């Protein structure tokens, strides 16, 4: 896991603002989100690997809450750096190399740059829920499996849409 500094701290600050303070959408209108309440609206089970709900979705960044239902096979994103704040659950996660696998739990922030291969091979305690900040915006189809037989954007996840609380 990488230590945060410089622009990473600024983005962490933005993520924490989304955790319960005002933010703005593409219209510039202030919005307030309650990630734990959004997490509670996600289904208890799913045939998908994950289900997510976008809080914001602008060209500069997207913010969402998502629940993981099945192990996430090795993949990467071409469009964005990703900041994953663990809201609940425990599991294992690796970035760049399976040998870097470590446990994660609530209150931790996982960070990796675009095109970094990553995976969540084990769900140890459910529900595993993350709040994610993707910079710049990550489109829902920006999921590239290291083994194409492991899936596609359609089999990967489902966007429940935006829900302002």
Instruction: Note the pLDDT tens digit of each residue in 90-123.
Output: 999 999 999 999 999 999 999 999 999 999 999 9
| Structure tokens, 139 | 């489109």
Q: What does the pLDDT read at residue 3?
A: 46
Largest CA distance in the chain: 44
Q: What does the pLDDT read at residue 149?
A: 76
| Structure tokens, 119 | 């995976």
DSSP 5: -
8 neighbors 111 (Cβ within 8 angstroms): yes
- CA–CA gap between residue 137 and residue 144 (Å, rounded): 16
- CA–CA gap between residue 52 and residue 129 (Å, rounded): 9
Residue 21, pLDDT > 50, answer no
């Amino acid at each position: 896991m990488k230590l945060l500094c410089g622009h990473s701290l600024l983005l962490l600050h933005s993520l924490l603002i989304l955790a319960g303070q005002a933010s703005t959408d593409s219209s510039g209108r202030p919005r307030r989100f309650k990630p734990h309440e959004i997490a509670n609206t996600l289904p208890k089970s799913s045939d998908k690997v994950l289900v997510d709900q976008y809080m914001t979705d602008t060209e500069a960044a997207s913010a969402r809450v998502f629940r993981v239902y099945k192990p996430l096979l090795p993949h990467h994103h071409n469009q964005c750096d990703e900041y994953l704040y663990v809201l609940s659950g425990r599991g294992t996660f690796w970035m760049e190399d399976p040998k870097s696998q470590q446990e994660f739990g609530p209150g931790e922030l996982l960070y990796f740059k675009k095109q970094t291969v990553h995976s969540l091979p084990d769900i140890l305690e459910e529900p595993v829920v993350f709040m994610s900040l993707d910079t710049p915006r990550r489109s829902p189809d920006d999921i590239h499996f290291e083994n194409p037989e492991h899936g596609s954007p359609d089999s990967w996840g489902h966007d429940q849409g935006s829900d302002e609380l």
